[in-house]
Structure 1
Amino acid sequence: MPEVPRTDRRDRAVRGAASILALAFTLLCGLTPAQARLTRAEMSAVAVAPPPGARAPTDLAFVDAASGRPTSLGAAMGNRPALLLPIDYTCGNVCDPMVSLSAAALRATGLRPGDDLRLVLVGLDPRDGPDAARALLARDGTGEALGEGVRALVGEQGTIDRLTGALGYSLTSDRETDAIAHPAAALLLAPDGRLARVLSPLALIGRDLRLAVVEAGESRIGNLADRFTLLCYGFDAATGMYTPLIRRILTGAALLTILAIAGGVLILARMSRRAV
């Protein structure tokens, strides 16, 4: 059987995790599903289904909420891996925890926010300006905690549509209730904008984020211990987390056992020769 190329395996893992997360975490910011006037078909269309080789256009024009100046997605990323969170800046009941939990996971990685990894927020509602973005960061202290490690962006509808379309991120709006239904997904981007992982921002821990960043950084971030850990842990698309690779662990243990037995036999053989 021919070996599946690494890039194809990565794309399958990304798409698999995205479909699981889309089913598990569909958010309707501002309202509960019972209050919404969206049909079942409209709600089922809310998902993250990245196309093969999904890549965020880094030249997209946004406004940086902190400075109020024009910027691009690439400039906000700073040629570094970025954890991209598409959110509704005025959604305090769900999007706020997504941001605070993602920021806490970033701090727990042991990486340097801003230097090794950035948290990039993108508003899904073009009516929300820089003030709304700054208010969200101030509510939970994310802006103060991460400093240069977080960027909050606002943009026009066309820009938002280009970004979400490129990443296979589908959302819908309930115009009567002014609510946005969108997946709760943290999209880890490589420095060139390639979608490396789809993670759950509501169940994200420092270890998983660090391993994902090490993979996305293609060995330019992390240390030897991280690379060794990746030999024993793999990304589980069913949970959106890194779990032990039992087969690899058992294979490694068996190999070590064989080497230990062979070494013992060699030592005993040499001792018997000396005794003679």
Structure 2
Amino acid sequence: MTTSAGRVPGADGRPAGVPAGLADRYTTAWELVPDGRARNDDGALVLPVRTRAGEPAVLRLSPPRPGAEHEHLALRVWAGRGAVRLLRAEPADRALLLERTADRDLHDVPVLEACRVLGELTRVLARPPRPPFPRLSEIARRWQSELAGAVGLDARFPRRFRLQAVKNLERLRRDELDAALVHQDLHYGAVRASARAAWLAVGADAVVGTPEFGLVPALWHRADEAGHGGALAAALADRMEALALAAGADEERLRAWVLVRCTVAARDEVARPTGAPHREVSRLVQLCKAVQRGA
């Protein structure tokens, strides 16, 4: 599931927001040789290249988005441990030269095994908190205030879940939220196989937060594989257990964050100028139902 607006590619297949000619500029400036076809990877332009020394790499050019300005900093902090190595960066253009991985990602792995990998990577990527990354304590405070007043959401999304999300945030904020630098969008497509390590995160959407917050995408992605109703609830319970064990996380806090992040995603979908597709909001409702105790 994606919670950001769809990005419409340009006439040449280039992702919207990536200026024409930018890839040519950086292949020239950084003395890179194209080594395959460019592709759209979640709204970013990714071009396989070889460096002047012949090293396989990828040139990644991202459109403007919240958090993109910090991606190179997180990759420097991680320094190749659990994530791809950063070879070069130009933050002003959101241009990154990254270690190349294989094309195989965690969609090719049974979901519970994939959850174990995501949990282990979440633990490995956790680092001591540091600026300038966004802080979960501030995000949670803002979300609690916004959701408390989002009565307009109730026409499209169950009021009980909105109010429960507010209560969850009130409870979660009593604990330390700015515990570590964590990846907040680590999902099955964002982890690739590598010759250097079995699996590596290929992006870096980092926040100073908690592992439970970072594990949520593993539950809302691939949810369609689990069916509906009781089958979905049972499948998500198994995933939460696998994720929490591998990450050293608290399962109940994870359950609370799932409902919060799904509610925020629903709020954002409903607020789109064109209106959110009914099916996407319905998916979020089903996820909220499935993570209820006794569902």
Provide the TM-score with structure 2 as the length reference.
0.24
Larger Rg belongs to: 1
Which fold has the larger relative contact order, with Cα–Cα distance below 8 Å and residues 6 or more apart in sequence?
A: 1
Q: Which has the higher strand share?
A: 1
